[in-house]
Amino acid sequence: MDPSSARANSGGLFSGKTELQPLKEKRICLVDKKHKKKLKRTAKKKKEKAASQEATAKLKKQMNMFDRLPNNCSSCGKNFPKTQEAHMTWQVVVREQKQQVRLFCPECQKQAKEIVENQNEV
């Protein structure tokens, strides 16, 4: 047990840290940080803009493809009902290289899936 040395240790640490921080240096540091943040924000904005432009271009391309959307199932010829439910259940297959859009009704999707599953089994 040596209470005097313990007190000297903590006391030394305290006074040393608080007094050795000049205000000037602290301010420079803050400005630098702010500047960095600003730079980062600008970079992010640039990136976001590029991303959104890319998304728009992609969407435009896809819209063009959707103009080619068939009115019926590419497999069985069933008429494609333009309802939200149909949009959710029918499958659109886009072949960009061939500029081809194919549409598959839920039944044909099921059949195709079964064929693939059967092929996998063999």
**Interface with Zn ion (CB under 5 A):** 73, 75-76, 78, 105, 108
**Cα Rg of the chain, angstroms:** 33
Residue (62 or 109) nearer to Zn ion, CB: 109
Smallest distance, Zn ion to C-beta of residue 77, A: 7
Residue (86 or 94) nearer to Zn ion, CB: 86
Smallest distance, Zn ion to C-beta of residue 83, A: 16
SS3 103: strand
Smallest distance, Zn ion to C-beta of residue 108, A: 3
Residue (101 or 108) nearer to Zn ion, CB: 108
Q: Where are the alpha helices (DSSP H) in 1-122?
A: 3-19, 23-67, 84-89, 106-121
Cβ neighbours for 80, distance < 8 A, ≥ 6 positions apart? 69, 70, 71, 72, 73, 86, 90, 103, 105
Residue (11 or 81) nearer to Zn ion, CB: 81
Smallest distance, Zn ion to C-beta of residue 111, A: 8
For residue 57, give both structure tokens: 């271009």
